[in-house]
Chains A and B, each alone.
Chain A
Amino acid sequence: SQQGEEDPQALSIQEGENATMNCSYKTSINNLQWYRQNSGRGLVHLILIRSNEREKHSGRLRVTLDTSKKSSSLLITASRAADTASYFCATDGNDYKLSFGAGTTVTVRA
C-alpha cells in the first residue's frame, strides 16, 4: 500500500535557490524517511525523522514533521546542480513495510 505522496511532482529552480517539497501520508507512522535517486540509480538515504521529532537537520537539508497534519517537508537550501535528482519520502506502518511515494523530480538550473 502506497502511503506517502510527494508534492509537487516536479520542481525546477535556479542554482543557489532553496527547494521545498512535501509529503503527505494517511495512517500513523513510527518514522518518516527521505531518499534521493539520481537518474535510474539506487536510492540513497538522506534523513530519518521519528514520530516524536518535529524537525531535523543534516547539512543543507532540513526536514519537518507534523504528525497532526500527517505531513512532512524537505527543504534543500542553497541548491547545487548536483542536487538534481528525484526525492522520495517513505513511511512505515504497522505491517513491517516501508512504503514509498511517487517522488518529486528536482531540476537545478545553472
Chain B
Amino acid sequence: EAQVTQNPRYLITVTGKKLTVTCSQNMNHEYMSWYRQDPGLGLRQIYYSMNVEVTDKGDVPEGYKVSRKEKRNFPLILESPSPNQTSLYFCASSSDSYEKLFFGSGTQLSVL
C-alpha cells in the first residue's frame, strides 16, 4: 500500500531535549516536505527536499533541521526544542513539487 509513515504519533518532551521525527515513503517519490499546523494558521512549510541530498528552507525553518540521505527517508530534527514548537507536524511526499501530495498521519508534539 502506498503510504507515508511518520513516527511517533504523539510526543511529549521538555525544552532543550533533542528529538527526531521520522518520515518514510514507499512510493519512490523525489519530493518530500515537512509542515506544521497551528490553529488558525493552516499548514506552514518548514523544509522541503527535491531529491537526495537536496534540501531547502520553507517558510518557517528556524529551530529545525532535516536531512535526505536516502530517497525514502526525510527526518525532522529539533536540536533544542522550545515551547513555541508545540504543534501538529506533517510529512508529505509527491512525484514532483507541484503535484498531488501524500501526507503522513501527523505527529502531535508538545514541548514543556
Given A2-B42, A2-B44, A43-B103, answer yes or no on A97-B97 (Cβ-Cβ < 8 Å).
Answer: yes
Q: Is B99 among interface residues, defined by CB-CB distance under 8 A?
A: yes
B35's contact among A31, A33, A48, A100, by CB below 8 Å, is which? Answer: A100
Partner of B105, one of A1, A41, A101: A41
The answer on a CB contact under 8 Å between A92 and B97 is yes
Q: Is B97 touching A96 in the complex (CB atoms < 8 A)?
A: yes
Residue of B nearest to A42 (CB): B103
- Complexed CA–CA distance, A31 and B95 (Å): 14
Contact A45 B102 (CB under 8 A): yes
Partner of B43, one of A40, A44, A96, A100: A100
Cα(A44)–Cα(B88), bound, Å: 16
Q: What is the bound-complex CA distance between A50 and B34, given in angstroms?
A: 24
Chain A, Cβ-Cβ closest to B97: A96
Contact across chains for B97 and A98 when beta carbons are under 8 A apart: yes
Q: How many residues of A contact B (CB 8 A)?
A: 24
Contact B42 A40 (CB under 8 A): no
Question: Closest CB of chain B to A3's CB: distance in Å?
Answer: 10
What mask results when residues 37 to 63 of chain A are scored 1 for a CB within 8 Å of chain B, else 0? 000111111001000000000000000
A38 to chain B, nearest CB (A): 11
Q: Return B99 CB to nearest CB of chain A, in Å.
A: 7
Interface assignment of A30: CB less than 8 Å from any CB of chain B: yes
State the 8 A-B residue pairs at the shortest beta-carbon distance, nearest first: A42-B103, A102-B42, A100-B43, A96-B97, A45-B100, A43-B103, A92-B98, A100-B42
Q: Interface on A for B, CB 8 Å cutoff?
A: 1-2, 30-31, 33, 35, 40-45, 48, 88, 90, 92, 96-103
Starting from the known contacts A2-B42, A31-B98, A99-B59, 10 additional A-B residue pairs (CB-CB under 8 Å) come to A33-B100, A33-B101, A40-B108, A42-B105, A43-B103, A45-B101, A45-B102, A96-B48, A96-B56, A99-B45
